[in-house]
């Protein structure tokens, strides 16, 4: 039986993920989700539907993106008011 890789962060560890954002996107949202055990393990143990085996959203961060210039397809920050 294969064992799932441990992906927990060490104390003071930072992990960064980079994802492409489609052209024309107006908003991005990131969610930090924690699982007490991998879904496959929960299923094998018959715990897939148990509350303790469900993923928990720890935090959500969302940001509206500035509009892109139609001439250059570059992102431009909105001017301050």
**pLDDT tens across 10-62, in order?**
999 998 989 899 988 999 999 999 988 888 899 999 999 999 999 999 999 99
Residue 53: strand, helix, or coil: helix
The CA distance from 20 to 78, in Å, is: 21
pLDDT of residue 59: 96
Q: What is the pLDDT of residue 38?
A: 85
In degrees and rounded to multiples of 5, residue 32 shows phi and psi of -100, 115
Decide if 78 is inside a domain: no
pLDDT confidence of 67, banded at 50, 70, 90?
confident
E strands along the chain, which residues?
A: 27-34, 56-64
* 8 in any annotated domain: no
What's the pLDDT at 70? 55
Q: Which domain holds residue 32?
A: 27-64
pLDDT at 72: 44
Query: How many folded domains does the chain comprise?
Result: 1
Residue 35 lies in a domain: yes
Give the pLDDT score at 81.
Answer: 42
Is residue 54 in some structural domain? yes
């Amino acid at each position: 039986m294969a064992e799932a890789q441990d992906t927990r962060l060490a104390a003071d560890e930072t992990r960064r993920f980079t994802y492409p954002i489609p052209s024309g996107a107006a908003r991005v949202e990131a969610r930090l989700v924690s699982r007490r055990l991998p879904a496959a393990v929960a299923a094998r143990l018959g715990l897939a539907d148990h509350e303790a085996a469900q993923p928990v959203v720890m935090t959500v961060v969302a940001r509206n993106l500035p509009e892109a210039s139609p001439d250059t397809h570059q992102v431009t920050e909105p001017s301050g008011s």
